[in-house]
Amino acid sequence: MNDIMLLSYLLKTKHRELVNLLFAETVLEAHKGIKASDIIIQAVKDGLIAKFDKEQLSELVALVSKGGYRTSLSGEIEKRAARELKEKMKFSEDQAARVAAHGVSFLVNALGSFMQARNKTNPTGIQELMAGETQASLKSKFLSRFKRK
């Protein structure tokens, strides 16, 4: 069973926390070559895409942009997912863009759940995760967001 099949199976069961962890790690490591778009495509095939939350996605894009990335992490994932949805699943341009946006939102929601869980159980774990990836101000803003909840 490959990773995509495993995620699909877990999403259909009650293992939500594990799924959130896997999805969040995919978002955090997507710029290192992990193809989050494959997970989005599998989620589309299985009808598991969550409701699009534009505010959450915008917030992630803003945070990532402030971190000094050349392009936003979520934007890269969204573009790649849209391109692959057009090629592999023969979606129209508009349909692919819409579904990719939903997919990124799904991943963003998972990232939020993961960060909340890490903050409660291992506050230094978040700092380790983000060390070297972002600026200090971004770390502080990101951490404070999850401490308020």
* Per-residue model confidence (pLDDT) at position 124: 44
**Does 132 or 5 have the greater pLDDT score?**
5
Question: Domain coordinates of the chain in residue numbers?
Answer: 3-147
Question: Could you report the per-residue pLDDT of 52-89, keeping only the tens digit for each?
Answer: 344 544 444 444 444 433 334 566 667 777 787 788 77
| pTM, rounded to two decimals | 0.38
What is the SS3 assignment for the chain? CCHHHHHHHHHHCCCHHHHHHHHHHHHHHHHHCCCHHHHHHHHHHCCCCCCCCHHHHHHHHHHHHHCCCCCCHHHHHHHHHHHHHHHHHCCCHHHHHHHHHHHHHHHHHHHHHHHHHHHHHCHHHHHHHHCCCCCHHHHHHHHHHHHCC
Question: Could you report the per-residue pLDDT of 98-144, keeping only the tens digit for each?
Answer: 777 776 666 555 555 545 554 555 444 444 444 433 334 444 444 44
